[in-house]
Structure 1
Amino acid sequence: MRELFCFFSYAYFTLFFLERSDSSAELGWRCTLYDNRCLVFVDNTDPDNLAAVLALANVKFRTELMGVVVTGRAANFNRDDPTDTVKIVDSAIALRINTSRMRNFLEKSGYSHVPVYMGTSSPHTLIPHDAHIDERDFDDLTPGQIKNAENLIPPSRMNSRGTIGDLTQILTKDRANIDVVVGGPMTDLFMLILMFPEFAQQIRSVHAQMGFFGFGETGLMEFDGKPRGKRQFNAACDPYAAHHVLMNLDAPVFLYPSDVTRVNGIGFSNPDELARFLEDTPATRELTRIYRIAYEKMVKPKGEKIFVHDFAPVLGYLQWLSHGCSYHKNGIFYRVKPIKVTQVPFRDEERDRWGEIDIEFMDEPSYDPKSRFVAVKVNEQAYLGEMRNLLK
């Protein structure tokens, strides 16, 4: 049945794209049909992040993908001792390897022109590095090669267009508005702002995948039998960055929580079902190959379905564009509500609350530069239709 929705997806989206709202003019959000650009920030390569980047590369005429920034996560290669101290060197190696893998994935998908930048690593994590996917699970590198990654991959291949520092040089020469899509910790988004403060003024909107708020249609996710509650994984990885972006950035921020997109209708029972749903292309074959590697630890042990979570903010961004860069409570992909972010704990004495985001629902948007929104319901049919349209 899913394929039946795909035929109408593009027509629906084009119709919504022509709709404009006066609210964008009130806030000074400059939006056009085609002259839009975005940066995407994803964490160490897992299938969801690859899917988000592939989707943005396939958007084509609606927005231009300026580049991909790969953010590292705190890593520990000692799988046999999960309590072992996180090693900075392991985090750096994992980041370098996965930046290269992102580049290779885009090359295999026909998007070798998309710049990939190696970012920095988030300072914290809630789970072991290999909980979703481990470098040693790939068949292209041995554990010994991973440990010697510095000498394994030439820097020109490893960094592609360079590091996040090189990206700041590009931004200083090009002051156009930029939309931001985040599929991981906000570490490098915040780092770019610190390194180049004028970048904050260029940001037109932020669309970020988040964890659980507890108001969605699904139960709270558990890890090792302990309910995580309101703790957002991406916020907990770098609570200081999350605090700065959500509390201080003068640009509208849209959040797409997992307890809204974790619904059976847009999940896949296994990688084979996902492969059958998607068109058969070099990109989807590589994507589903990596899903098969990750599935054994990421999904199967919990008896869950495959939910392409980091794809969620991509559709949120496209919905925002379709409504003339403005808030619309009943969009083609999501029902959205305005919120006020009241607190994002980040201080040392608030460590027990790192990852929590306190919000209050509002009847109407604030219509100021710090407008914040959250998705509360997903349109499953439209979601699947655009997923198949963009993941190919």
Structure 2
Amino acid sequence: MTTPLIIDTDPGVDDAFALALAAASPEVDLIGVTTVFGNVSPELTTRNALRVLALLDREDVPVAAGAARPLVHPQPHVSKAHGSDGLSGFADTLPEPTRGPDPRDAVTLLKDLLTAADRPVTIAPIGPLTNIALLLAAHPGLRAKIARLVVMGGGIRGGNVTAAAEFNLWCDPEAARRVLVGAEVPVTLVPMDLTRRCAVSAAWLAELGAASEVGAKLVGLTPDYLATYRKFLGWDGMALHDAVAVAEAVRPGILATRRFPVDVECAFGPGRGGLLVDERLEHADRPGIDVAVDADLDGLRGFVLDRLRALGVRQ
């Protein structure tokens, strides 16, 4: 039996790969996509999600636009790593969608999909956590319908947008704290410490690009993102942060996890948006969440590549 899956996203190059992985995985049934501000404006994240699903021949999946700003304080800026349109300036190389976004807002679509589901739903939030915080606050009665949240975000040993904060948590620290601290539903957090270690090489991308037209289109979205990561990694490759989280949603246990109490810094100052993971043994009995700490890196890269290569040629 497949697991119903909803992806909450701000596409984003690695988000596009994550959506493709979900579409290529028979273990899950992608029943909805919700979008949020983040890597680019909410208008562009929604358009990008619709275009990626059109590429994947999955326009049956409803896409609902969500939060355009954080819960409390404005977001200072958007990511530069993904280019001007979120897809390295190549969003227009993807098919034009034949349908627009769902008329419902993201939280309403989440509510309706959870209510209608005949078994618990996995939600993979791979952008800022604003939509998920709003869902949990507005509809507490639906918690039992959520099998777990598989969240991409945070950095145990520091961040990428500041010394302390990873981008997704930094975008809306108050929402992240609402979702992760004293979690009301099961949570698996996939931090950038691990996703960065899972970075793929230019040769990996070339292999995907040669496999099919869909693979070539996905690889064609990467130039700006790849250029950023060449500088960051020091070698010719890039991190597929969000696809690593979706891999865990697709195949539970592909990432090794440990349970830790966590917090998110919401004060103004250099630590804002930082993830605080309490690794002290004396606090191991405190409530916590599952944090992904390790993986068979080559096995994970191979798993993602095999799934994406199987997407086939778009007619």
Task: State the TM-score, normalizing by the size of structure 2.
Answer: 0.81
Q: Which has the higher contact order (CA 8 A, sep 6+)?
A: 1
Does the 8 A contact of 2:2 with 2:28 survive in 1?
Answer: yes
- Aligned mates of 2:101, 2:156 — CA distance in 1: 36
Tell me by how many angstroms 1:308 deviates. 0.6
1:66 to 31, 34, 37: 31
The aligned counterpart of 1:344 is: 264
Tell me by how many angstroms 1:273 deviates. 4.5
Give 2:133's aligned amino acid: F
- Aligned mates of 1:364, 1:385 — CA distance in 2: 38
- Aligned mates of 2:24, 2:160 — CA distance in 1: 34
Tell me by how many angstroms 1:309 deviates. 0.7
- Aligned mates of 2:127, 2:102 — CA distance in 1: 20
Give 2:129's aligned amino acid: M
- Aligned mates of 1:127, 1:301 — CA distance in 2: 21
The aligned counterpart of 2:84 is: 134
- Aligned mates of 2:180, 2:306 — CA distance in 1: 31
Does the 8 A contact of 2:188 with 2:290 survive in 1?
Answer: yes
The aligned counterpart of 1:109 is: 56
Query: Where do residues 126-275 of structure 1 align in structure 2 (5 Å cutoff)?
Result: 127-135=77-85, 138=89, 157-160=99-102, 162-167=104-109, 168-174=111-117, 176-214=119-157, 228-263=162-197, 266-270=198-202, 273-275=204-206
Does the 8 A contact of 1:209 with 1:256 survive in 2?
Answer: yes
- Aligned mates of 1:365, 1:284 — CA distance in 2: 46
What is the alpha-carbon root mean square deviation over aligned residues?
3.2
Runs (4+) of structure 1 exceeding 6 A deviation are 362-368
- Aligned mates of 1:367, 1:284 — CA distance in 2: 45
Summarize deviations over 1:78-130 as a string: whole Å, max 9, x none.
xxxxxxxxxxxxxxxx3223312211221122212122111112425465443
- Aligned mates of 1:301, 1:381 — CA distance in 2: 22
Unaligned stretches of 5+ residues in structure 2: none
1:318 to 222, 228, 250: 250
Does the 8 A contact of 1:48 with 1:308 survive in 2?
Answer: yes
The aligned counterpart of 1:359 is: 277
Does the 8 A contact of 1:121 with 1:187 survive in 2?
Answer: no
- Aligned mates of 2:181, 2:270 — CA distance in 1: 19
The aligned counterpart of 1:49 is: 15
- Aligned mates of 1:317, 1:365 — CA distance in 2: 28
Does the 8 A contact of 2:166 with 2:192 survive in 1?
Answer: no
Give 1:336's aligned amino acid: T
- Aligned mates of 1:54, 1:157 — CA distance in 2: 19
- Aligned mates of 1:312, 1:301 — CA distance in 2: 21
The aligned counterpart of 1:40 is: 7
**Greater Rg by CA:** 1
- Are residue 380 (structure 1) and residue 286 (structure 2) matched? no
Does the 8 A contact of 1:316 with 1:334 survive in 2?
Answer: yes
Unaligned stretches of 5+ residues in structure 1: 1-33, 76-93, 142-152, 215-219, 321-330
Does the 8 A contact of 2:248 with 2:255 survive in 1?
Answer: yes
Give 1:357's aligned amino acid: L
- Aligned mates of 1:242, 1:251 — CA distance in 2: 14
Give the helix-richer structure, 1 or 2.
1
Give 1:204's aligned amino acid: A
Summarize deviations over 1:131-155 as a string: whole Å, max 9, x none.
43212963567xxxxxxxxxxx99x
